[in-house]
Amino acid sequence: MGKYTEKIKDSSIWITATPAAVVQTLPFFVTEAGYFIAEPDYIVKRDMHESYLLLYTLRGKGMVSSNGTEFELKAGSAAAINCRMPHMYSSADSEWEFIWIHFNGACAAAVFDAAFTGAPAPAEIQNTSDFTARAKALISVLSGNDIITSLKISSMMHTLINITAESALMSARGGIRREYSSEIDSAAEYIRRCYAEQISIDDIMSGIHISKYHFIRLFSRKMGSTPYSYLTNYRINESKTMLRTTDKTVAEISELCGFTDTSNFISQFKRHTGQTPLQYRRDFT
C-alpha cells in the first residue's frame, strides 16, 4: 500500500527486507520495519500475518487488540504481539508516532512464548531514549543484506525483545508489582539456601501474604518455572558439582542435595540431563 492509503505522513519511513535462507536460520531476523507518523484514522487489521510484531509509541497513543485483549499503547510503552492470531492496531483519535518491527527467527517462537506469557499487555519502557535509539539503529541497518549486518540485526532484535519483556514483567497491567518482585527474589534465595532440607511451598512463601495460587503464578512468571521445579533444578545443579568434584557415592549426593531417596534422585537427574548420575560422572572425570 502507498502512504496515502496507509494514512501516514510523508516523513514516515518504511523498509522491507527479504532475508536469505541462511539468515532465516539465525535466532532473529526482520522482514520489515518502520517509523510512522500516523493520521487519526490510521488502522491496520489482519486475521493472520506470518511474523511477530514489536510496537513502540514515541508520541500520542495507539490502540492495540490481540488475542482477545485490547489496550492503549501510550508514549514510552512497547508491546509484542503474535501476528498469527487476529490483531488490530490503530491511532487513538490523534496523530500516533510509533516504531514497528516485524520479526521472526529460529528462536523467535521460544523466546516470545517464554517472555510474553498470558494476554498481551503494554510494557512501560524505563529508559526510553536508549530504547528509541536502539530501535532506530536497527531500522537504519535493515537494508544491509550481508551476513555481518544480519548477525548484527539478530542481536539488536534480541536486545529489544529482552528490554520489552523485562519492562512487561514490571508494568502495572499483567506484570509483577515491585514489592512482590523482591519477595519472589527472597523466595528463590531461600530455595538456594535451604535446598538440602525437606522444604515445602509453605516454607518457601513464609512471610509472603498472598494466596498460594497467586504466589506460584507470580513465581513462575518471573523465574520461568514453578517453585517446585526451581527447587528440583537447583538440587540437580548442585549434584552435578558434587559428581564432578567429589568421590561421594550417588546415595550420599542424593541425600546431601535434599532428595528423599536415591531412586528418585536418579530418575530426576536422568529426566533433566538425559543421563544417569554415574554416566554424567564418567563423562566429566
* Predicted local distance difference test score (pLDDT) of residue 104: 97
Q: Which position has the higher pLDDT, 247 or 166?
A: 247
Q: Where are the domains of the chain?
A: 3-170, 178-283
Q: What average pLDDT does the segment 50-77 reach?
A: 95
Q: CATH homologous superfamily of domain 178-283?
A: Homeodomain-like (1.10.10.60)
pLDDT at 191 over 60: yes
CB 100 within 8 A of CB 78: no
Helix (H), strand (E), coil (C) string for 24-91: HHCCCEEEEEEEEEECCCCEEEECCCCCEEEEEEEECEEEEEECCEEEEEECCEEEEEECCCCEEEEE
Q: Which position has the higher pLDDT, 176 or 247?
A: 247
Residues 6+ apart with CB under 8 A from 235: 195, 257, 258, 259, 268
pLDDT at 72 over 70: yes
Q: How far apart are CA 17 and CA 5, in angstroms?
A: 21
- 3-170 and 178-283 in the same fold: no
Q: What average pLDDT does the segment 142-154 reach?
A: 92
DSSP 23: G
pLDDT at 140 over 50: yes
Q: Which position has the higher pLDDT, 119 or 132?
A: 132
Task: Give the pLDDT confidence of 37-47 residue by residue, as tens digits.
Answer: 999 999 999 99
Q: Which position has the higher pLDDT, 13 or 117?
A: 13
Sign of CA dihedral 136, 142, 147, 148: negative
Fold of 3-170: Jelly Rolls (2.60.120)
Angle, CA of 73, 162 and 210, to the nearest 5°: 75
